[in-house]
Structure 1
Amino acid sequence: MLAHPWAPGPPMRVVAGAAPSERKGRCGMTIRSEGAALHGRRRWPSSGIAVLLTGVVVAAMLLARPALAAEVTLKIHHFLPADAAVPSEFIGPWARKVEAASNGRIAFAIHPDMELGGHPPALLDQLADGTADIVYAVPSYSPGRFPRTEALEMPFLPASAEVTSRAAWDFFKAHLGEEYADYKIIAINVHGPGRIHVKGKGVSSLEDLEGLKLRGPTGMVNALMVKLGAIAVGMPVSDVMPALEKGLVEGTLAPWEIIGTLGIIDAVDAHTEFSGERGLYTVPLVFAMRRERFEALPKDLQAVIEANSGADVSADIGRIMDEADRRAKSRAQDRGDTFITLNAAETNRWKAAAASVVTAWEKDMAARGIDGAALTKAARDLVAKYAGTHSD
């Protein structure tokens, strides 16, 4: 099996504070040494003792030297727990890879779970005010600010997260340059197709949505839920668990990965999926740096980050999310949860009802001077291109 491109490098650990047995490495990260102990009473020849003592003296001299400081330390801020799939399998390994490629001239301080303060919708603004240098954020948590990006949220658009993330990068390059002019977009990905996860017996038909209080992640998804008869409650995914516990919502729309990460999977009973080649919806996320901060770096360090950006990086985040989806779904199966897959006829009823949401969005974009119909078609065509299937 080939190692994926973000495989961890040397055994370095990022820790909150350095214990007495730790030291600072060239990358600005704390290095914890875990040397092996000598066991037994082996008799060493005098030449061996001399070599051993020489090694100890050299090691002591090296440890006594001041650590080489990085030229720049970049703060990465995001809204996910540190042990979630993307932080642990992408953000951390990506940072180590960039540190190594820069020969220690770039270091990173990674702050998970909104550790630097604020709420997830504020992440992109934190690039401007200097709170963070790089963020992993959901653009649509700021309604209307990134309108063209919303084309990636159309109902029944997504294939797998990996496929759709590769399509999202192409869509960004072709259509979103103006929208993200103030940012250096390192990657743009989507999560796996969203499902409906609820307490109780589950959603088996459109009629089951009537009056159901469901959390939706974005304005587009909430508009879809209202059209389909649900009571949509918008909130970031980090707020879902408390909302379920307080009875503010009866379920949520989300991919498998995040409900497993945040424990939501333990608060719901039933899960609804759809027939066909496309999922109900997805949401784009960006791994972004303030452009001014990026351009202030020396050219060769810009090149290091550039070499670790783009379509393959975006697709790899999607792959990580797909794999995390499978793990979380398996966990729900092991629990004995209820699984509902709507058949083709019922899925087509949902698609027909959702069509007016797309039409309304395209009209709204036209009023803003944006060709929404062209964007919708471009997004669907790109997903079809990489999925190897037809465009719905």
Structure 2
Amino acid sequence: MRRIAFALAVAGCAAVPAAAQDKTVNMKISLWVPTAHPLYPSTKAWAESIEKDSNGTIKSTLFPAEQLGKAFDHYDMARDGIADVTYINPGYQPGRFPVIAVGQIPFTFADAVKGTAALDSWYRKYAPAEMKETKFCFAFMHDPGTLHSRKKVVVPGDIKGMKIRPAHSTFAELVTMLGGTNVQASAPEARDMLERGVADGLAFPWGSMFLFGVEKHIKYSIDAPLYTTMFTYNINRRMYDGMSAAQKKVIDDHCTNEWAVKFAKPWADFEHAGIDKMKALHDHEVYKLTDAQIGEWRKTIEPLTAKWSDAVRKAGVDPDVAMKELKDAIAKNGAGF
């Protein structure tokens, strides 16, 4: 009888799902945007899905609004374990992530959702080398942003002499090329730059102008998809490596192209709605560019593509191959301008 009881007990233990026996992991997820930002509920839903699929063994705590560190530091925070999952703008660190920077070149993408599907599927080949100190989860972008300023800007030459807060390193290069001065500031710091008169223009997505209270300090906005910014979610390698096989699979199942698009969609809708809000302001002018003016902008940005090619080649990547692969992904998803 004892043998039978023991056998039944062993059989019962064997029937328990592997995930239920896993050690509990408590992930710290750091975002530098506030809770009012669309990324916060998207990240919360992502974390809740991970907890559910891991049978409660992977729990998360969200730290928004730069609680754990500045926006510029979020890649290093994931690398060093200050946070376990971080929201990263690779363009905040010029030259560090040259491959993904291609998406920052103006007029590359016209749609955030389709663009995210293209970008993420393309970058998965390059992320393990370019972001090797962390585990890459997925890449996405916001809805195309534009230049907002106190002075009306129509053609590239109008930027000469202006002080502009760029969205990322590529836009900063454009400002320098055109004789402007860059004022470096993360999105949460942008309003302060304008209030103090340190900057008189900025590259920003539309809805976020209102979220960060920036719209009160500018008068003109170009109605064109002038640029996009690339973002990634990255995971601390030591935490991931310390997980069980079952837990790793749950994380892998939440680091997919489908999840990248899920993150992009609510944010894209939020930013796009900001265009009409800006147009409704009585003391603000939102204006379109003519085909000739857009042609001037396109010609002006040609050196940016050449600079990207040089940087990528130095990093050991064939820029012609990478660009062709990206263009193929953009065409496949109908994401181009």
TM-score by length of 2: 0.87
SS at match of 1:178: helix
Q: CA deviation at 1:217?
A: 2.4
Q: How does 1:1-392 map to 2 (within 5 A)?
A: 71-88=24-41, 90-116=42-68, 118-200=69-151, 202-274=152-224, 279-336=225-282, 337-387=284-334
- Which stretch shows the higher mean deviation, 308-317 or 369-378? 369-378
The CA distance in 2 between the partners of 1:255 and 1:352, in whole Å, is 23
Where does residue 16 of structure 1 map in the other structure?
none
Q: CA deviation at 1:173?
A: 1.7
The CA distance in 1 between the partners of 2:285 and 2:191, in whole Å, is 19
Distance 1:122 1:154, change over 3 A: same
Distance 1:147 1:364, change over 3 A: closer
Question: Whose RCO is larger (CA < 8 A, sep 6+)?
Answer: 2
Distance 1:287 1:84, change over 3 A: same
The CA distance in 2 between the partners of 1:385 and 1:222, in whole Å, is 30
Q: Give the structure with higher Rg (CA).
A: 1
Q: CA deviation at 1:375?
A: 2.5
CA deviation digits over 1:1-50, x for unaligned, max 9?
xxxxxxxxxxxxxxxxxxxxxxxxxxxxxxxxxxxxxxxxxxxxxxxxxx
Alignment check: 8 A CA contact 2:93 2:169 kept: no
The CA distance in 2 between the partners of 1:234 and 1:385, in whole Å, is 35
- Which stretch shows the higher mean deviation, 241-250 or 202-211? 202-211
- Which stretch shows the higher mean deviation, 151-160 or 245-254? 151-160
RMSD after superposition: 2.0
Q: CA deviation at 1:317?
A: 1.7
Identical pairs, percent: 22
Q: CA deviation at 1:273?
A: 2.5
Structure 2 unaligned spans of 5+: 1-21
Q: AA paired with 2:37?
A: A
The CA distance in 2 between the partners of 1:137 and 1:338, in whole Å, is 32
Q: AA paired with 1:287?
A: Y
SS at match of 2:301: helix
SS at match of 1:174: coil
Q: CA deviation at 1:358?
A: 1.4
Q: CA deviation at 1:357?
A: 2.0
Q: CA deviation at 1:70?
A: 7.9
Q: CA deviation at 1:130?
A: 2.2
Q: AA paired with 1:313?
A: W
The CA distance in 2 between the partners of 1:157 and 1:110, in whole Å, is 32
Q: CA deviation at 1:181?
A: 2.4
Alignment check: 8 A CA contact 2:115 2:330 kept: yes
Q: CA deviation at 1:311?
A: 0.6
The CA distance in 2 between the partners of 1:232 and 1:103, in whole Å, is 49
Alignment check: 8 A CA contact 2:111 2:335 kept: no
TM-score by length of 1: 0.76
Q: AA paired with 2:205?
A: P
Q: AA paired with 2:255?
A: S
SS at match of 1:335: coil
Alignment check: 8 A CA contact 2:138 2:260 kept: yes
The CA distance in 1 between the partners of 2:308 and 2:252, in whole Å, is 34
CA deviation digits over 1:80-119, x for unaligned, max 9?
001111112x111111121122222221110001112x32
The CA distance in 2 between the partners of 1:364 and 1:130, in whole Å, is 29
Q: CA deviation at 1:267?
A: 2.0
Alignment check: 8 A CA contact 1:170 1:382 kept: yes
Q: CA deviation at 1:266?
A: 2.4
Where does residue 57 of structure 1 map in the other structure?
none
Alignment check: 8 A CA contact 1:227 1:357 kept: no
Structure 1 unaligned spans of 5+: 1-68
Q: CA deviation at 1:376?
A: 3.0
CA deviation digits over 1:273-330, x for unaligned, max 9?
23xxxx3221111111012211211111111122222111111222122101122223
The CA distance in 1 between the partners of 2:221 and 2:251, in whole Å, is 39
